[in-house]
Structures are given as C-alpha cells and as structure tokens.
Structure 1
Amino acid sequence: MIKKAIYFPGLMTVLLLSCNPRAGSSLSASGQPNILFIAVDDLRPETNAYGNCHMVTPHMDALASQGRLFLNHYANVPTCGPSRFTLLTGKYPQTKAQLSNAVFERLTAGRQRQALPESMVEAFRRNGYTTIGIGKISHAADGKVYGYNQPVSDKMELPNSWDSFLFDAGKWQTGWNAFFGYADGSNRQSKNGDVKPYESAPVEDNGYVDGLTADLAVKQIEALKSSPSPFFLAVGFFKPHLPWNAPQKYWDLYKEDELPVSPAADLPAFVNNTGWHNSDEFNQYKKGEERPSLKNPVSAQYARKLRHAYYASVSYVDAQIGKVLDALKESGLDKNTIVVLWGDHGWHLGDQRVWGKHTLSEYALRSALIIRAPGMKKSGTATSVVVQSVDIYPTLLELAGVKQPYPLDGKSFLPLLKEPQSNTEGRAYGYFNNGITLRTNRYRITKYFRKQQPVIELYDYTNDPLETKNIAKENPELVRRLLALLEAGNTGLYKQQKI
C-alpha cells in the first residue's frame, strides 16, 4: 500500500517509504516485454497518490502502489502536439515549427518510410513489435490530419508507426467532434463556442468518448492474448482536457464547497506578465460564468466550480484507465507488460491567475508519470528525481532491449526504476513563449528572448515550493552557474541568440 505524500505544486516531499516488493529477480523478464502506454491529456500531478487527498483516483493510485511514481516529471513543451512530438522523437524542439500543434502535420504526416524511424513507436515496430494506437497519441484526436470542422481524412500523422490505429467517434462522428463533445452529441465547434467549459450529465461512461476508447482498448487486449509477437499498445484519453465533461456520478464524488482554491493565486513577484496569458483557451467557451484574465481573476466560488469540473473529469478518466488495467490483468498479459501512464503536460487551475497551460511555469510543465515494469523492486516507492518526457523513449528502449536508432536528447532513467533514488541530480528543459527553462532538483531558471524585463527568472522550490517569487536579481552567482547549464539545452531554436 502506498503512503500519502505531502502535496506542493512545485515540489514533492517524499514520504512514500513503505512498499511491498513484488516477486521477480529483475526488471528484464524472459523474452521482450509488451508495452501498454496510456497518454492522458492535460493531466497535472493531481491524484490521490500525488498527495491531493480530495482526489478520487483509485485506479491510478493502485498503479502507483505497484510501480514507480515520478514526483517531478516535466513535459518539454507546455502544449499538446509539441509535447507529444518531443516524447515520440526523444528530441528537444529544434525549430519554431516544433512548438506548433501542427508539428505532426508539417513534419511527419504523409511521408514515406525514412532511413530513421519517425517515432518511438516505429522504432519498436521495426524491432518486431505489433503496434496499435487508440485515441489521441500524437496530436489529432484520432491520429489523422483534418481541421476541426472538416470531414475525417485518411492522412495519418504518423504514417509509418502503426500496424493498426483505431478510434470510435460514436455519436459525434469525427474525432475532433468527439474531443470537444457534449453528452447530447453536439460539440464546441458546431455551436461556435457558445457552450460552457464543463458539463455533468446523467449518462453512463460511454456517454462520453473516453468510455468508448476504454472499450476499444479492452477488446484489443483480449485479441493480443494470442499475438506471437510483443506489442506496443498506446491508448490516448481526452479528459481532463477542456471541456470538463463527465457523467454525473463522477461529479457526485466531490463536495464543491470543500474543495480548495489555489494556494498561489497571484503572479510571482518580480516578473513580467508577458510570460503568462489571459486564459484564452478557456475563454473560448463563451458560456462560462466568469472570464478570467491576469487583471481580473475569477471569484473563489467559481474557482471551486471549475476545480470540481476538472476533478470530476480526472475521476472519470481514472475509471476508464481502471477498465484497461483490469483487462490486462485478467488476460494474464500484465506479468510481462510494462505500463506507462503519462500526462502530456500540466495545467494552471487558477494558479498564478491562469486557467490553462502554455507557460514556462511549474504548473504548466509538471505532469503525472507512473511506470510499472515486470519484476520491479521497491514497487510503490516514489522518486523525487527530476525527469523529463524525452527521457521516456530511451528508457523504454533499454527496458525492452532495443537499440537506439539515432542519438536522443533524452537519457534513460532505468536506474530509477531499479532503485528510487533521491540524491541524483536530474534536469528537465522546457521551451515555449520565446524562452527556455531548466528545472533541477531544487531550482528553475528561465531565460526569455524578448525586450520586456526581466528576462531571467529563478525559483527555489526548497524555500518557495509554490513558485511565488523570482529571486534572480539577488542571486547573480547562482544565476551564472545555472545559465551555463541552461546552455546545454539551447537547441537550434535559439542558437542565434545569446544565453
């Protein structure tokens, strides 16, 4: 049983020292392991296992108790498509195009097979794995290139990665309609945004599309029982991405008036506001009761309503994850399957006056990551070492005994799966908003390439876990040392500019 952690949005203090090691002599099972990769959109580390006692997330918590909970995992880009591109390529962004949600459409869609694999998934496919995708794995809701209001195309974002790619759009008919879907079969774009950013409806799990995705995954697991080759099954769930729509029963798990508001509701001291934004993605939902901005934050009452909606969406997707994990166990495939649960980035829930992602803040970059591997020792014990999304590719290759197809920016964190260290120095780089950020185990330093001052931000999460004060000006020597480390992450994106 996993013990609770103390939750701070900027730092996790580890109290997860009690565990029940599973049987098994090593992480390497006989033969190549299968991989079940579960991607969850906009999932910040906001589960019970991460220390938020309000959350009802029994299935993700159970996975954490059987695997390794990464307390300080960071996406490399705080928006969906580019975050997934860095994950799937194992590379930091090199051009501005790689910071756009159209990155797959521009760089991989429709391309013939190249000398090097287009993605981590194709690397496994080339090494004998059966690869199956369901839902949102790259950027598009169903892996295909077409606009929000266009008919479904047959052009795949990752044309060489999948043996098969599946999606059930149900009553919404297209992937994008389902992604922004409401229980009556409508969607945000068909109503020109004249909708609320949340919905509770008296429907069963299949009343929203993540329930259909879970059903597809369960069927695939049953079919894979007879597969002669190892498999890479990727399942992408939409919630808790906006709109925060979930069956009423998941809303009923929470008492809204007991939910907390953000403990860091204001912008950090000594920063320039251009590093943040006015919650434009959230404000696309025109029937929201209040419209947050940096100048005018929402009321505490509405903040609780929105947190209630986000939490209900997380509990809903937790139940769908539970169905998939239960099917894996019932099939017997769990004994030789690596399970990865990954949130593509974080999300400000009113933190620093923002409702959304798209910042180089701790709140937008830090996300959930749980890995369970066959024969894992000290399961249920968390690690506080900083890791980043680009590290997942090389880690899975090493676990499976597959050779890296090309040099990767990420580094395998297999040692953390063998032994949950706490004194290893980790690094995570982030890119967005004309800036680069570096997170170490204690500090975050950010450099913006802009005219507005200050261009340097520094936070100390030992003394300021909520990221409330930029201390760069008073720590010039520390800034100098950390900027030298930041240079190592200066890709082609900003090479022409001086760190």
Structure 2
Amino acid sequence: MKYTNCQRLLLPLLLILSLSTLSAQPRNILFIAVDDLKPLLGAYGCDYMHTPNMDRLARMGASFLNAQVQQAVCGPSRASIMTGAYPDRTRVWDLHTDFRKSAPELISMPEYLISQGYTSTGIGKIYHKGSSSPGHDGKSWSIPHVIPDNYESPDGRPALNTYQDKKVKKQIRQLTAEAKVAGIKGNGKIRSHVLERIKPSTEATDVPDNAYQDGLYTEEAIRRLQSLQAAGDPFFLAVGFQRPHLPFVAPKKYWDLYDREDIELAAFRQLAEGTPKIAYHSFGELRSYTDIDNDLGVGDELPVAKQKELIHGYMACVSYIDAQVGKLLDALEALSMLDNTLIVLWGDHGFHLGDHTLWCKHSNFEQATRIPLLFAGPGVAAGTVVRAPIELVDVFPTLFDLAGVDLPARVDGKSLAPLMDSDPGTTVEKDYAISQYHRGKKVMGYSLRTERYRLTQWYDNSYRSFKPLGNSKLVGVELYDYETDPNERRNLADLANYREIKKELEQKLATHLQQQYQTLSGKGH
C-alpha cells in the first residue's frame, strides 16, 4: 500500500493516540481470596511446598513478606479488606455482625467500582457467610454472587458439601435418616445432629478437583472470565476459595505430593516463657471435629501422629488451591487478558499448626496474623519483594491506585503502589502494621508489628479505639524480637535491655489508638 505525504505524517500521531487509548483503558481486577492461608508457599521460602502457580504469580509481580491481617478470624478480616477499614470502625469483631448494620456509612470496594462503570461479580467465600447481608452482601455485585453446586463428578455431590469418602457419606446418610425418624426438624438441626457424631478433620480421596467445592468455583470463575471479556466492560471478579480451611479435604493426588514421614512438627510447641495466659486459646474450632480429643486445654499438645496428619492435610489443601490458581492464570493468558488485569491474592489470616500448642487462628501471634499477599499486573514490577510491614486494609487503596480509580472516601489503609513500581525512589511512609484480637467481650488485644518486633497490649473494661485510651485497664503485655527469637519463645516485655524499644513501640501504639479515637469519635474534626 502506498501512502501520501499527509498520511505518512499522520501515522506516528495515530500510533501515539492508539497507544494512549490502550494505556487509558480501565484495568480489570481479579481478586483471589484464600481461606486460612498462611505464607506456606515456595515463594515465601518454604521450598518443600508444591505451589508452582502461586510462586509463578509472585514472579509475575510483587510479594509482601510481612503482610498482617487486622483480626485473625474470617468475619472481621474480610469486612476490613472489603471496606478498607479497621475492625473498630466496621465494628465487626465476630462471625455474626454484618458491617451494613454496624457501620452503614461504609461502602465496599466492588460496590463503589460499580458506580465507576465496572461490572462486579463474585464466586465462593468473599465475605464471611454468617456475617454478610443477603446475596453475600448483594450491594457488592452487579452480577449476582454464586456458590456453585453443580457437581458433575462421577462421585456425585459431597456430603454436607464437604466429604467424598464413601464410608463417611454412608454414615452421614444413616445419621440424617436417624435424625428424621427421631423427629428432628430443620436442616440446621439435622446437620448439627450429624456433625456431633461424625465430622472428620481430614480426607484424602481419589477424586477429580471438581468433586469438591473449590474445583467448581474455578470452573465457574473461568466461565465468568469468558463472559466478562465478551461484554467488554472493566470488571471486578472475586473468587473465594474454601480450603485450606478445616476440614482438610482435598483430592488424593495433592496428598501424594508429600511424604508424611518427612513432615516436621512446629519448632516450638510450648507456651512461651512469661507470656500472659490471655494470649492463648484451646483451639475449640479444631476440637469440634470428632477425631480430635475435645478435653484438650491451653498448653495441651495433640498426639504426634495426629499433628503430622493435620499438617499433611493443610499442605495438601494448599497445593489443591495452588492448582486452582494456576487454572485461573492459564485462563487469563488464553484470553489475552493478563496485560490489562490486576491480580491480587491474599489469605484472610494465618493458621497455627501446633506452634505454642495452638491450632487454627484466633490470636495475636505471628502464625495467626501473617499472610501471603501477592500483586501482579499493570503498574507492578515483576519480581518485587517487599519486607516492610503492611496491612490488609492497604489492599483497597492499592487496587484503586493501580486501576486509576479515585477513592470514594476515607479509608484506613495506604496505597502500596509506590512499593511495587520500578522506581527505587518511590516509597510509602509505613513502619508498622496493626492487628487485634479479643478474649471474651471485655478484653481486646492490640498488636503492633514492625519489621523486627511485635508489641501486644491487652486492655480490659471493654476498650475499643473509639473510646478514650485512658479509660482502659492494661491486663497483659507481650514483646517479641523476630531477629533473635522468630518462634516467640519468650516474652521480652519485662527485660531491662528491651526497655527502650518497648517504650518506643508503646508510644507508636498509643498514638495509633489515639488517632483512631479522634477520628471515630468525631473529635478530630
């Protein structure tokens, strides 16, 4: 084809305009939530883990090595990330409170994106099911949220949406029939009758991925990616995986990746020296399973064989979810959507696997509060590793910053985008992360994590940071140095050689709590 002189002059301008239009396209967001996921990944230094796909995602973008949740339990943690607000602002500290009722002024991340021209939809566990409004927080989705149950596996539907072992399924059928004969009515009561009698904590069956919930979630997510691409609007697609939450059920092929004989127990399986008892719990969540001794208390250790079985199950479930993440990444690549899609993968909290004799979460210790946090996509430099302490509340402003969307209102976090670009001169003024966990209704523990230290202070008199700090009563203090004691073996709070660092951290925490009080009480305006 021959061009006139005028056309030759216009070609560079047209190319510039085309590239400018391409770069200005709204960015899609793939938001991957993984229940109970601690940083037990190859990308986080655990070379014995088989996690090639999450490691691949880490290489594609940024890994945050010191990411901390706001509260180590599903309901509060998920309310915080979805609203960009600390628990004392959402007023969600349990598994029952809906932030739409406790803090109706807040707006969720996907809800606001809808007003900015985005299509928003979700699959699986994004909010905690028991503390979200109808429709899994229906305001968050322009296309309704779904929990798929179209099991096409030859093994059929898992019993109670969980178990595929044939013997277990038979027992559950028998117990269900027994409950009905006994006059027990209502699905909830029948379910309770069954689970009080048979509720295994692990299961390894030779079934395909889609015989369990998370395999179905992946298949539905890929279908939605295809339809969202065809529609052409920018989208927020949230995919929430159930595992590695208890029970540890996963196809046998993922269990076979690990040899149980080679699995090591937690390095420190005792109560820490000098740590107040209020810091611990007796892992009631795990004790609810019928193959676990329900008489265990604080400081009691599970039998070694059961510990190894549980750790094996957790590892298998992590690898199962890793495979699902790989399918999502492959789908994005096949659809040529990687270049314009922001991806974030996060755990809603960590998980104790026998350290301090603890299991599950529900604490302010490192194993409960620390999570993997991975970003990839436009604006994120490949292979970035960030060691600074950051928080889940930072995800909301970070995604909006990377997507070029203005924040709707005040959020408690900060954008982490400057930590993920290719300019070493950009940074974020953030030298600590805040977590909290309560004991009963009256005691709340606030935990401040820096790059090296953790200070936790436990306050009585029903203190929350929307109340004056002076009205509280300090009932416990913890201090750990992760450079010299990564396993939190000893509480350093009363040691003379840590007096100055303790004082410095106490001031940082007091300043944070006082700033929260000024904001939440309205006295800062």
- 1:403 alignment counterpart: 406
> CA-to-partner distance for each residue in 1:81-117, whole Å, 9 max, x for gaps?
1000010111112269410112227627xx9xx7x66
- 2:450 alignment counterpart: 440
Does the 8 A contact of 1:138 with 1:157 survive in 2? yes
Does the 8 A contact of 1:385 with 1:441 survive in 2? yes
- 1:152 alignment counterpart: none
281-290 vs 339-348, which moves further: 281-290
Question: Which amino acid in the other structure matches residue 480 of structure 1?
Answer: K
Deviation at 1:30, TM superposition (A): 3.2
* 1:169 lines up with 2:119 in the alignment: no
Deviation at 1:182, TM superposition (A): 4.5
1:239 to 238, 243, 256: 243
Question: Which amino acid in the other structure matches residue 278 of structure 1?
Answer: S
> What is the distance in 2 between the residues matched to 1:270 and 1:175?
46
- 1:283 alignment counterpart: 287
- 1:461 alignment counterpart: 482
Distance change (3 Å), C-alpha of 1:492 and 1:287: farther
1:479 to 496, 502, 506: 502
Give SS of 1:358's match: coil
* 1:120 lines up with 2:130 in the alignment: no
Does the 8 A contact of 2:278 with 2:476 survive in 1? no
Question: Which amino acid in the other structure matches residue 390 of structure 2?
Answer: V
- 1:392 alignment counterpart: 395
> CA-to-partner distance for each residue in 1:101-147, whole Å, 9 max, x for gaps?
12227627xx9xx7x66201111111111001001001118x966xx
> What is the distance in 1 between the residues matched to 2:193 and 2:156?
12
- 1:427 alignment counterpart: 432
- 1:380 alignment counterpart: 383
Does the 8 A contact of 1:133 with 1:233 survive in 2? yes
Distance change (3 Å), C-alpha of 1:255 and 1:453: farther
* Length, aligned pairs only: 454
Does the 8 A contact of 1:121 with 1:131 survive in 2? yes
> What is the distance in 1 between the residues matched to 2:423 and 2:273?
34
> CA-to-partner distance for each residue in 1:435-484, whole Å, 9 max, x for gaps?
11111111111110149986111111111122221111122332222111
Give SS of 1:376's match: coil
Deviation at 1:402, TM superposition (A): 1.2
Question: Which amino acid in the other structure matches residue 300 of structure 2?
Answer: N
Give SS of 2:479's match: strand
* 1:489 lines up with 2:506 in the alignment: no
1:299-338 equivalent positions in 2, closer than 5 A: 299-338=303-342
- 2:228 alignment counterpart: 224
1:415 to 418, 422, 447: 418
- 2:139 alignment counterpart: 160
244-253 vs 474-483, which moves further: 474-483
Deviation at 1:290, TM superposition (A): 8.2
> CA-to-partner distance for each residue in 1:331-350, whole Å, 9 max, x for gaps?
01111000000100001000
* 1:129 lines up with 2:152 in the alignment: no
> What is the distance in 2 between the residues matched to 1:252 and 1:173?
23
Question: Which amino acid in the other structure matches residue 398 of structure 1?
Answer: D
> CA-to-partner distance for each residue in 1:291-337, whole Å, 9 max, x for gaps?
65433202333211111010011111111111111111100111100
Does the 8 A contact of 1:425 with 1:440 survive in 2? no
Deviation at 1:161, TM superposition (A): 1.2
1:55 to 49, 66, 69: 49
> What is the distance in 2 between the residues matched to 1:48 and 1:420?
26
> What is the distance in 2 between the residues matched to 1:448 and 1:174?
45
Does the 8 A contact of 2:42 with 2:49 survive in 1? yes
> What is the distance in 2 between the residues matched to 1:367 and 1:394?
18
Give the TM-score normalised by the residue count of structure 2. Answer: 0.80
* 1:35 lines up with 2:35 in the alignment: no
- 1:94 alignment counterpart: 88
Distance change (3 Å), C-alpha of 1:495 and 1:461: farther
> What is the distance in 1 between the residues matched to 2:287 and 2:117?
46
Give SS of 2:204's match: strand
> What is the distance in 2 between the residues matched to 1:423 and 1:91?
18
Give SS of 2:194's match: coil
Q: CA RMSD in A?
A: 3.1
> What is the distance in 2 between the residues matched to 1:82 and 1:424?
25
Deviation at 1:399, TM superposition (A): 0.8
> What is the distance in 1 between the residues matched to 2:390 and 2:256?
35
> CA-to-partner distance for each residue in 1:264-314, whole Å, 9 max, x for gaps?
222221111221111100010012378654332023332111110100111
1:261-300 equivalent positions in 2, closer than 5 A: 261-288=265-292, 292-300=296-304
Distance change (3 Å), C-alpha of 1:272 and 1:487: same
346-355 vs 181-190, which moves further: 181-190
Unaligned runs of 5+ in 2: 1-18, 174-190, 439-443, 462-472
Deviation at 1:400, TM superposition (A): 1.1
- 2:466 alignment counterpart: none
Does the 8 A contact of 1:381 with 1:420 survive in 2? no
> What is the distance in 1 between the residues matched to 2:263 and 2:360?
19
Does the 8 A contact of 1:136 with 1:235 survive in 2? yes
Give the TM-score normalised by the residue count of structure 1. Answer: 0.84
**Of the two structures, which has the highest relative contact order with CA contacts closer than 8 Å and spacing of 6 or more?**
1
397-406 vs 236-245, which moves further: 397-406
Give SS of 2:384's match: coil
2:195 to 192, 195, 198: 192
88-97 vs 226-235, which moves further: 88-97
Question: Which amino acid in the other structure matches residue 294 of structure 1?
Answer: V
460-469 vs 245-254, which moves further: 460-469
Does the 8 A contact of 1:75 with 1:388 survive in 2? yes
Does the 8 A contact of 2:390 with 2:430 survive in 1? no
**What percent identity do the matched residue pairs reach?**
36
Distance change (3 Å), C-alpha of 1:423 and 1:263: farther
> What is the distance in 2 between the residues matched to 1:281 and 1:290?
10
- 2:369 alignment counterpart: 365
